[in-house]
Amino acid sequence: MHPVPRSFYRRDASLVAPDLLNKVLVAGNRAGRVVEVEAYRGSDDPGSHAFRGKTGRNATMFGPPGHLYVYFSYGVHWCANAVCEREGVAHAVLLRAIAPVFGLEEMRAARSRGQKHPVADRDLGRGPGRLCQALGLTREHDGADLVTGDRGVWIMDDGHRPPAIPDVGIRVGLSAGADRPWRYSVPGDRHVSGPLGRPDRPGR
DNA sequence: CTGCCGATATACT
DNA sequence: GTATATCGGCAGC
């Protein structure tokens, strides 16, 4: 069990993304296995926050690889990405879903606040906003180093390999760049969000 | 299960 | 003003 090294991230996000499947995302005393991701390729990708250049929000994407880019979405939810490629090239991999591994009750407490019913295990980390809520990731984790764990957040390799043949599909919630097949997930895993999490549905 | 709606920060027209 | 890398509640099936 060791942190994924910096060199892992210093590549095109569309190559890093499928390799992140089955890695372990750790935040404090909570952890989950990454089962769904999307690649965003900066200035080459009209679906990327970085397509039109650097802003206050996306500055972390332009920094060195192996750091966490966290942004606020729809004025409601946080979403977390692993920054890829060398400094100045704004590639990133959106962490879309985890299968909870450790700290389930902390996750459930974080996810159930202000809700009618306690959240089921399957829904703790199924979706990018839910993933951040379950792990307690917010603005204060933007820029965190995933290799050194300077803010208690790491991506670890426990020897569990990525799927030999991941499910591949189009990215969720975009209009610009919607045609690019840069969404990857672990086949058959029930913690995957959207159509790929429901076998024999469109999107496969 | 599906579809619609509201919440509302950030970036852009 | 409009769009967005989302989610939860509710209506209806």
pLDDT digits (tens, 9 = 90+) for A112-128: 988 888 899 999 999 99
pLDDT band at A201 (very low <50, low <70, confident <90, very high): very low
A26 φ/ψ angles, rounded to the nearest 5 degrees: -110, 135
What is the average per-residue pLDDT within A45-53?
Answer: 96
How confident is the prediction for chain A on average, in pLDDT? 93
Bases of chain B below 7 A from a protein C-beta are 1-2, 7-12
Nucleotide of closest approach to A72 (CA, C1'): B9
pLDDT band at A199 (very low <50, low <70, confident <90, very high): very low
In this structure, is the CB of residue A93 within 7 Å of any atom belonging to strand C?
no
Contacts of A99 by beta carbon, 8 Å cutoff, 6+ apart: A32, A33, A35, A125, A189, A191
Predicted confidence band of residue A69 (pLDDT cuts 50, 70, 90): very high
| pLDDT single digits (tens) A128-139 | 999 999 999 999
- Per-residue pLDDT, A175: 85
| Range in A45-59, A139-153, A171-185 the model is least confident about | A171-185
Q: Does A185 contact strand B, using a CB cutoff of 7 Å?
A: no
Res. A196 pLDDT band, cuts 50 70 90: low
Neighbours of A84 (CB within 10 A): 30
- Within A94-184, where are the H helices? 104-112, 128-135
Residue A203 pLDDT exceeds 70: no
Cα–Cα dist A101/A66, whole Å: 22
**A73: helix, strand or coil:** strand
Residue A78's DSSP bridge partners are: A72
Q: Are A184 and A17 in contact (CB under 8 A)?
A: yes
CB-CB contact of A80 with A144 (8 Å): no
pLDDT tens per residue, range A15-36: 999 999 999 999 999 999 999 9
The answer to whether some atom of strand B lies closer than 7 Å to the beta carbon of A74 is yes
Between helix A104-112 and helix A128-135 the angle, nearest 10°, is 110
CA torsion through residues A61, A48, A135, A86, sign:
negative
Separation in Å: B5 C1' and A159 CA: 44
Structural tokens at position A78: 């946080």
pLDDT score at A195: 58
Does position A10 have pLDDT exceeding 60, yes or no?
A: yes
pTM of the model: 0.93
How many angstroms separate the CA atoms of A33 and A53, rounded? 32
